[in-house]
Amino acid sequence: MNTAEYLINKLRDFGIFHYFGLPGDFNLNIIYTVQNTPDTEWIGCTNELNAGYAADGYARENGFGALITTYGVGELSAINAIAGSYSENISVIHIVGTPTTEILNSGNIGHHFFQNGNPFCFYEMYKNVTETGAILNRDNAKIEIDRILKIFKKERKPVYIAIPADIATMEIKDKEILLDWYSDEENLSKVVTEISEKLRKSEAPIIVADSLIERFDAKKEFNEFVEKTGIPLCNFLMGKNAVNTKYEKYLGTYFADLENNDVNERLIQSDCPIFAGSIYSDMNTCGMKLDCNINSKIAIYGTYTYINNIKYENVKMSDVFNRLTKAIDYKEYNYKPKLKNEESNNNPPEGDLTIDYFYKRLKEFLNSDDRLYIDTGSYTLGAFNTDFKENVKLNSQIFWNSIGWATPACFGAAVAQKDKNIILVTGEGAHQITALEIGTMLRFGVKPVIIVINNGGYTIERLLSDNMDDKFNDINQMDYPKFARSFKGEIWATSVSTADDFDKALRVTKIMKKLCYIEVIIDKADVPEITKSFLNGIKSKKQTKQKHKKIFDNFKLKEIKDLKFGTTTHKSLHEIENGD
């Protein structure tokens, strides 16, 4: 068995049966191996960035994904996609085919090289966006593959393997390796004991669920713990898929002070908050307004746990919840149940389509267990503030926020989940970046429903700009249905601008047995109310900073002798602002 065969066969154990990427002169041996390995398939994309996004979407549905590129030009085209996977704990292995070992070590500069003569500089770049990586050679190939796969399975982040063309076909021994890892029993016992003691003393605990629960395969154990203990539950935005929304004490999604304020108050006043798998970023928490360092409380991550700022290494999240379920008895806590939205009449109103009706109709359209992929834009928060049917899986790149991600990501998801309905919602600005992947969707026979919101440019940037009509937020308009139909393959495409036509278009997709593509025209100023509130908060901070900058611009030291520490009485900011 050669090196490429060994790696591809080991990745089958991870459930990876599809490889996204582009062919290049240095990775052909690896692609041939994919094609010749039983049950594995090569998925050729239009560019490496899209292939990276598709591998990300595949991993979100499958647990693990794989990307294959060529050296230099290919891997650098994909680095933004891998960076997004790294930020959001998406398990993608990036396999790079490189020139032969002889060429890499010769000192000569070949094509795809930098002029600095360093053939390993791309690997150095990838050290910052992957959990680990290696360039294989004759001495380390088997050892490094095994090491990287162990880390890949444990840390659930991207990893990087560069395989020179001669090493790909080098024979190595197919010796069985143990990829699983186990919790440190001493640390696990300490964690369970300390959390149990805190919960027994607590009168107002709350659990905040987030995406790492799902990433680290702990969803089953987590929900069993929640049900057993009776602790009130909420989630950050990215954690919406991790929770059972039918749980009796589910409080809803945390939107800080923008929406659902009962959750905000409960969390602030809690004497024992438990953060489960949290990614504490501005978008995910709607502004990072919690007045606490989550690691100073109880914060349970995939491979470690913090309690009062003490880190306990090598404890599996699933093991922590499993043990806590056995250790903690049910307790009745006071809580305010989540308010249920009254179902309004969903008959389409007359006139232009609004974002409000868009989400009402989308909620009705989606069935339980559908997959919804939402791109970054002015409409994103509106999706997270919509109570879709149970088990609708909502995916959005909330943390990394790279526009254009969702179109190829939904393609990867459709490859991984061919028996599920995949629905994409993207803005026309984001869509134009990666829209060529529609052709790949048609080539491989996947049939998502694609909805392109055309609101006349970069609307979220318009709302943050000084002027809604700033030209730098414009993009060139195009005939989107005509563009979609320009690819060979079975596709139904239309454009709608009224609520009634949108309603009819969604009804048509239910009977179509092909890829469906809908351009939705919405006014550029029409955004969800929660988005307006969030952006107003950002603009308020921006204006405050500008105001303070102007104040301090007029309060500068002119000479070094003015630095009379200990003798100079400095005015307070309040005195400066008020001219005192």
Please tell me whether residues 195 and 143 are part of one structural domain.
no
pLDDT (tens place) for every residue of the chain, 580 residues total: 999 999 999 999 999 999 999 999 999 999 999 999 999 999 999 999 999 999 999 999 999 999 999 999 999 999 999 999 999 999 999 999 999 898 778 766 677 676 676 778 889 999 999 999 999 999 999 999 999 999 999 999 999 999 999 999 999 988 888 899 999 999 999 999 999 999 999 999 999 999 999 999 999 999 999 999 999 999 999 999 999 999 999 999 999 989 888 899 999 999 999 999 999 988 899 988 886 688 999 999 999 999 999 999 999 999 999 999 999 999 888 877 766 665 556 688 889 999 999 999 999 999 999 999 999 998 999 999 999 998 999 999 999 999 999 999 999 999 999 999 999 999 999 999 999 999 999 999 999 999 999 999 888 888 888 888 888 888 999 999 999 999 999 999 999 999 999 999 999 999 999 999 999 999 988 999 999 888 887 766 555 445 444 444 444 444 444 433 333 333 444 444 455 4
Please tell me whether residues 392 and 522 are part of one structural domain.
yes
Please tell me whether residues 523 and 536 are part of one structural domain.
no
Please tell me whether residues 388 and 504 are part of one structural domain.
yes
For residue 447, being part of any structural domain is answered with yes
Q: In what order do the strands lie in the sheet with 18-21?
A: 41-44, 18-21, 65-70, 92-98, 159-164, 132-135
In 3D, which of 214, 221, 259, 260 has the Cα closest to residue 239? 214
Please tell me whether residues 517 and 538 are part of one structural domain.
no
For residue 115, being part of any structural domain is answered with yes
Looking at 510, 527, 544, the residue that finishes a domain is 527
Q: Are 121 and 107 in contact (CB under 8 A)?
A: no
Whole-prediction pTM: 0.90
For residue 494, being part of any structural domain is answered with yes
Please tell me whether residues 85 and 155 are part of one structural domain.
yes
Please tell me whether residues 493 and 509 are part of one structural domain.
yes
For residue 350, being part of any structural domain is answered with no
Residue 308's CATH number:
3.40.50.1220
If one counts the domains in the chain, the total is: 4
For residue 14, being part of any structural domain is answered with yes
Residue 398's CATH number:
3.40.50.970
What's at 321, amino acid-wise?
F
For residue 179, being part of any structural domain is answered with no
Please tell me whether residues 57 and 190 are part of one structural domain.
no
Burial label, 95 (beta-carbon count in 10 A; 0-12, 13-18, 19+): buried
Q: Are 24 and 72 in contact (CB under 8 A)?
A: no
Please tell me whether residues 198 and 159 are part of one structural domain.
no
For residue 178, being part of any structural domain is answered with no
Please tell me whether residues 163 and 269 are part of one structural domain.
no
Looking at 308, 327, 346, the residue that finishes a domain is 327
In 3D, which of 334, 347, 302 has the Cα closest to residue 320? 302
| CA distances, 272 to each of 190, 197, 285, 298, 533 (Å) | 17, 11, 19, 8, 29
Range of the domain at 439: 355-527
Please tell me whether residues 143 and 203 are part of one structural domain.
no
For residue 333, being part of any structural domain is answered with no
Please tell me whether residues 123 and 227 are part of one structural domain.
no
* Residue where the block lists tokens 């303070």: 548
Looking at 134, 168, 202, the residue that finishes a domain is 168
